[in-house]
Structure 1
Amino acid sequence: MKTKNPFLTYGYISPEFFCDREEETATLISALENGRNITLVSSRRMGKTGLIHNAFHRIGKDMPEVKCFYLDIFPTNSLREFTLLLAQTILGQLDSFSETMLGRLTSFFKSCRPVVSVDSMTGAPSVTLDFVPDNAEQTLGEIFEYMKQSGRECVVAIDEFQQITEYPEKGAEAMIRSHIQFLPNVSFIFSGSKRHIMLDMFMSPKRPFYQSTQKMHIGSIDERKYHRFAACHFAKRGITMDEGTFHYLYTVLFGHTWYIQRLLNKVFEICEGNVCEPDINECIRIIISEEEFNFQQQLSMLTLNQRKLLTAIAKEGTVESINGKDFLQSHSLGASSSINRALENLLKNEFVMDNGNSYQVYDRFMGIWLRVSCGF
């Protein structure tokens, strides 16, 4: 079913439903046009994926000869899975479906057998790989060589790129770097949400990707631009929301893109006429009631110290010093050593986000729920 709600909470349709990021989109495209790979870093659900697809949309419109590929490697757990995903995304897309394409694939791949199938409805080829055991590294090299020899200009966006540091294969990071540095016709966007890992990968002299890319960070969308975007779409439904009400909505969710979209989506669904703060609070209450069981299940997996620390951060909204005496005492958190262990787990499992100089509850609606109910 095609949604009539303009406030998308997943996927990308067109610039009409994508708020701002004009400067970031232009910066991204300019870097790629001038031969610079990009490292794109931001918190989860801040809009990295949407930005990439918005840039791809514009590239497709202005430079149709350039092939754009997006792959999210967060679900992958090994170099073999990474290679399979890359193959499924790219192979068969650089040639028209023909005997020539089949011949090219066969000639490039010695470590595995490409299996090509065709969608009966669209005629589009789909390629899977039948691996020779333990040859993922060789196959990966063959995929990149296939891209190089195609001569086609390509952009490859690899989302959640920090995932490769979790692969069991030693040297996966260096091996991937060794291949991509010799692809003059292929540009890369390395996108990630774990800031410390991504910055270490691309800024540490000890790491293979050191100083190999232009760095980009995206934060919150400008509040005024976001309000204009929302007001434009609300007007088509006869809904109004003044700047003060939008400021309340924006602030209570700390300017976090996905959560704002989720709330605007609910406002568009149930509200009429002029929307005020009580309407915003009612929409938040509904969303939280929809998520409450999930929140309870997540909390049940935490230790007592972890739950207490998470609730304390939620109550404060933003905490600059986790080990500060006032913070520990006012929330009866106990010794710093045990709190630091709890914080490490909360950060690892993305219950808490580290902004560099402060900590907040990652899920903005969970944070509100914790402030209201204390979570237990």
Structure 2
Amino acid sequence: MKNPFVYNAIVTGDHFCGRSKYIQDIVGKINNSVNILLFSKRRYGKTSLLKEIFESHLPKNFMKIYIDLFSITDETDFAKQVSIGIANSDYKKDITTRLKDLGNILKNVRLSVSPDPSGGISLTPTLDSGGFDFLVWFENTFENLNSFLKKNNMKGCIIFDEFQQISSIKDHDLEALLRGKVQQHNQLSYVFTGSKQHILANMFINTSRPFYTLADIIELMPIDKHEFYDFVSAKFRINNKHISETDFELIYDLSFGETRFIQKLCHYLFENESEEINKELILCVLKDITLSNDNFFRNYFPNSFTAAQRKALLILSQRSENLFSREIISKYDISTATLQRALKTLEEKLAIYKDGDQYKIYDVEFYHWLKSIKV
């Protein structure tokens, strides 16, 4: 029997859990061409949520464009990723018509057709090699796209994933260029999301930045505990397994509400022979996962952090309050000033984050490995 808990890939359909209120809110804004900044902590399922909306919750005549900016380093990379997103956009037309439409949108871009693993086709764009002019491409592409939608009485939505990456491109003021187009396009809504919250926040709430007030801000919180329990218990019943709500709450709390790690724990529990899932089994599976990470983290930990940063992480794995108590300072042989500097650097490196007045470790599996170390 195929394991119903997927933790290492984007999920939609039967594998997607909950988020009904977010779906209703986001779909309503997209239908009304309202732009959105969607942010959350890492591994809460932002991309899965947006893919689920694209696949199952928008009208058929919607042009759905997903653009992944994670790997871009310059304006040419940006142009390539936007062209790929448009070329493989989801809207219901036959391939001949699609090629004609896309040829009119993507000027100076050559499209190659090839089969994809799902049995469909994939379109690969190649930028004009004869002296590529980014500003000409930018103006033509976004204007042609909006004109195409208007002419065909269609609407569209563009998702920019890892949107904070454009702030590293210095050749042109890409933020200002994009703002000009976003403001003019009444056929399109834009969804901006990414994994670096502090950079995204600065882009949208800093009054001196072009994207200030340009999008409604939505923070994606952990999936509701009761809603997640209903999803998980139904999946376990497929394999004649039972989990109480109390025991699921243990999984949820051990995962700090992180969608991916909840799914991972449940994946391993589903594979276990026991039909009754209880506290003892959950802790045993957690220990197995932690041990499986041991070699990786034993190499990662000393090679990625200074001695002071390692001490700070070990402290955070044991407690989140009273970090500067005399007991802690003495036990870990670290001064208050050094610990403060280490925490600041770890936050900048996205190894930890601040939740209210408490510091927490981002990576749940790393946290459990650190917690297992005897100091």
What TM-score, normalized to structure 2?
0.89
1:30 aligns with 2:28: yes
Change over 3 Å in CA distance of 1:216–1:185 after alignment to 2: same
**Identity in percent:** 24
Larger displacement relative to structure 2 (40-49 or 160-169): 160-169
In structure 2, C-alpha distance between the alignment counterparts of 1:224 and 1:107, rounded to whole Å: 46
Which residue does the alignment assign to 1:39? 37
In structure 1, C-alpha distance between the alignment counterparts of 2:341 and 2:281, rounded to whole Å: 40
Letter in 2 for 1:315: Q
Contact 2:329–2:336 (CA<8 Å) still a contact in 1? no
Change over 3 Å in CA distance of 1:242–1:155 after alignment to 2: same
In structure 2, C-alpha distance between the alignment counterparts of 1:191 and 1:30, rounded to whole Å: 18
Deviation at 1:106, TM superposition (A): 6.5
Letter in 2 for 1:285: K
Change over 3 Å in CA distance of 1:171–1:236 after alignment to 2: same
Deviations 1:130-185, CA, capped at 9 Å, x for gaps: 34556333322222122112124211111121122222335222222222222221
Deviations 1:193-222, CA, capped at 9 Å, x for gaps: 322222221112111111111110011111
1:84 aligns with 2:80: yes
Contact 2:105–2:145 (CA<8 Å) still a contact in 1? no
Letter in 1 for 2:368: I
1:221 aligns with 2:193: no
Deviations 1:16-69, CA, capped at 9 Å, x for gaps: 211110001111001111221110010010111111112112234xx1100212
Change over 3 Å in CA distance of 1:139–1:331 after alignment to 2: farther
Which residue does the alignment assign to 1:202? 204
1:119 aligns with 2:114: yes
Q: 1:54 pairs with 52, 55, 69, which one?
A: 52
Deviations 1:90-138, CA, capped at 9 Å, x for gaps: 03757754489458736863xxx32221125645533221345563333
Contact 1:79–1:137 (CA<8 Å) still a contact in 2? no
Which residue does the alignment assign to 1:350? 350
**Aligned-partner SS, 1:119:** strand
Contact 2:67–2:84 (CA<8 Å) still a contact in 1? no
Deviations 1:317-348, CA, capped at 9 Å, x for gaps: x34x76x4457525535334433332233223
Q: 1:258 pairs with 247, 257, 260, which one?
A: 260
Contact 1:106–1:114 (CA<8 Å) still a contact in 2? no
Which residue does the alignment assign to 1:21? 19
Contact 2:12–2:48 (CA<8 Å) still a contact in 1? no
**Aligned-partner SS, 1:140:** helix
In structure 2, C-alpha distance between the alignment counterparts of 1:119 and 1:108, rounded to whole Å: 18
Q: 1:268 pairs with 267, 270, 285, which one?
A: 270
In structure 2, C-alpha distance between the alignment counterparts of 1:216 and 1:32, rounded to whole Å: 13
Change over 3 Å in CA distance of 1:329–1:199 after alignment to 2: same
Larger displacement relative to structure 2 (344-353 or 200-209): 344-353
Contact 2:329–2:335 (CA<8 Å) still a contact in 1? no
Which residue does the alignment assign to 1:142? 140
Q: 1:128 pairs with 126, 129, 132, which one?
A: 126
Q: 1:64 pairs with 60, 63, 66, which one?
A: 60
**Aligned-partner SS, 2:184:** coil
Deviation at 1:255, TM superposition (A): 1.2
Deviations 1:207-246, CA, capped at 9 Å, x for gaps: 1111111110011111111111100000010111111211
| Residue-pair matches, total | 365
Letter in 2 for 1:88: I
In structure 1, C-alpha distance between the alignment counterparts of 2:179 and 2:312, rounded to whole Å: 39
Residue segments in structure 2 that go unaligned for 5+ positions in a row: none
In structure 2, C-alpha distance between the alignment counterparts of 1:333 and 1:77, rounded to whole Å: 42
In structure 2, C-alpha distance between the alignment counterparts of 1:27 and 1:306, rounded to whole Å: 41
In structure 1, C-alpha distance between the alignment counterparts of 2:132 and 2:326, rounded to whole Å: 55
In structure 2, C-alpha distance between the alignment counterparts of 1:229 and 1:168, rounded to whole Å: 45
Change over 3 Å in CA distance of 1:254–1:88 after alignment to 2: same
Q: 1:308 pairs with 299, 311, 317, which one?
A: 311
**Aligned-partner SS, 2:27:** helix
Letter in 2 for 1:174: A
Letter in 1 for 2:69: I
In structure 2, C-alpha distance between the alignment counterparts of 1:118 and 1:359, rounded to whole Å: 49
Q: 2:180 pairs with 148, 168, 178, which one?
A: 178
Larger displacement relative to structure 2 (32-41 or 188-197): 188-197
Residue segments in structure 1 that go unaligned for 5+ positions in a row: none
Contact 2:160–2:191 (CA<8 Å) still a contact in 1? yes
Change over 3 Å in CA distance of 1:262–1:92 after alignment to 2: closer
Larger displacement relative to structure 2 (177-186 or 236-245): 177-186
Change over 3 Å in CA distance of 1:147–1:356 after alignment to 2: farther
Larger displacement relative to structure 2 (6-15 or 201-210): 6-15
What TM-score, normalized to structure 1?
0.88
Larger displacement relative to structure 2 (166-175 or 333-342): 333-342
Contact 2:293–2:369 (CA<8 Å) still a contact in 1? no
Which residue does the alignment assign to 2:295? 293
Which residue does the alignment assign to 1:243? 245
**Aligned-CA RMSD value:** 2.5
Q: Provide runs of 4+ in structure 1 moved above 6 Å.
A: none
Letter in 2 for 1:217: E
Letter in 1 for 2:299: Q
In structure 2, C-alpha distance between the alignment counterparts of 1:156 and 1:243, rounded to whole Å: 39
